[in-house]
Amino acid sequence: MLHVFRNTPHGREELLQAAHFCNTVQASPVVYIPEFTKFLLYLENDVVQVDLDKTFLRSPETAREHVEEIMAEMNVDSWRFFVPRHFSTPALPDVPVGFHFMGCPHTIADLRSKAGAGYIGPRIRRILASATFPVLLFSPVFKPFTRIAVMFGGKANAATALRLAVRLHRLSGLPISMYTAEEGRRGRKYYEKLLSKNALTGVFAQSVSDWHIFPRKEFIDNLYRIPHDALVVMGAYGHGAIRQLLMGSTVEIIQAHLPNSLLIAGPHYRGMS
């Protein structure tokens, strides 16, 4: 799991979450301490320039030490630092994308006025739209999660989200709760058919402990049902800027109302090997 570290109290919370996530799902954190305020992610059909704010470059002399301390505190034995080998220009390192996960704050650029709940920065959205790995959006404060809540909305990427949740369940043993905001009057049968169509009925029966279906109109009210200590797993459709502007994004609605960490699989996520 790629983690871009910032040597600040917020950065500490983020790394604690990344470490806990990796311990839980048996992943190995790869920590990048940036030396420049930007880096490039060459994704399959896109190149995303990630512009970091200056907090990511704070106190470089203590950054390594702080990472080592946190990793020791969280008992992460299998981790390493990432040092870029390739540079597109002398001040623009390339960060490889062959990771299973990437950890991000919900906005990574210096947009303080927008860095509130309900806002996901454009760079993060681009990463989500093109990445072949899921992105973990950190909550403001570290809290160990003890269960998995998967959002199964019936859209194209819902099945991907459920598969990802099941995979995490197998790795961690954590129980899965499934949440569906019912569109119109489709009813439970519609979603069961959807599970069957995606060959997920068996997996669902074995792995999902409870399924909550509620009307789409009451979506925000029903987010209260999601446990405070759950890792929320969901799929993102990755629609374009105009549709985003007109219709908003479910990811942003959830991010605005839930303090939990979100693990989001974009449309190009192909599943874990």
Partner 1 sequence: MAFAFRIKQWIGRVFPQGPAGEDRLLLIVFGAMVGVCSGLAAVALNTSLHGMESFFGQYRYNWWSFLLPGIGAALSSIFLEKIIREGAGHGVPEVIYSVSRHGGLLRMRSTFSRLVSSSLTIGSGGSAGPEAPVVMSGSAIGSNIAKTFSLNERQRIALVGCGSAGAVAGIFNAPIAGLVFTIEVIVGEWTALHIVPVAVASVSGAQISRILQGNQIPFTHLHFDVDVTTTVAAAGLAVVTAGACVLLTRMLRGSHHLAGKVPVPLWVRAAMGGLAVGIIGLFLPHVLGEGYHVIRKMVEGSFDGGFLLVLTLVLAKILATSLTLGWGGSGGIFAPCLVIGSFAGLMFHRGVDALLPGLLSVNEGAFALLGMAGMISGMLQAPLTGIFLIVEVTGGYETILPLILVSVISSTVSHAFEPSSFYFRDLVKKGHYLRPRTDAKVLADLRVSEVLEKDCISVPKNMLLGDFLKVVQQSRRNYFPVIDESTGEFAGMVHLDDIRPYLFDSLLHDTVFLEQIMAADTETVDIDDELSDVLDRMDASGAYSMPVVSNRRFVGMVSKATLLDRYRKELMLQTTD
# residues near partner 1 by CB under 8 A: 27
Of 71-79, 163-171, 177-185, 251-259, the segment contacting partner 1 by CB under 8 A is 71-79
218 binds partner 1 (CB under 8 A): no
Considering only CA atoms, give the Rg of the chain: 18
Q: How distant is the alpha carbon of residue 64 from its chain centre? A: 24
Binding mask 177-216 for partner 1 (x = CB under 8 A): ----------------------------------------
Q: Which of 73, 12, 16, 28 is nearest to 171 (CA)?
A: 28
Residue selected from 59, 62, 78, 196 as contacting partner 1 according to rule CB under 8 A: 78
Task: Please state the closest distance from residue 46 (CB atom) to partner 1, in A.
Answer: 6
Task: Please state the closest distance from residue 94 (CB atom) to partner 1, in A.
Answer: 8
Residue type, 268: H
Residues 6+ apart with CB under 8 A from 151: 158, 161, 179, 180, 181, 232, 233, 234, 235, 250, 254
113 binds partner 1 (CB under 8 A): no
Site for partner 1 in 9-28 (CB under 8 A): 28
Cα dist. 49→31, 38, 81 in Å?
18, 7, 21
Strand partners, 149: 177, 232
* Helices 9-25 + 60-73 axis angle, to 10: 40
Of 93-101, 139-147, 162-170, 207-215, the segment contacting partner 1 by CB under 8 A is 93-101
Could you list the residues that contact partner 1 (CB under 8 A)? 28, 36-38, 40, 42, 45-47, 49, 51, 77-80, 85-92, 94, 96, 98, 240
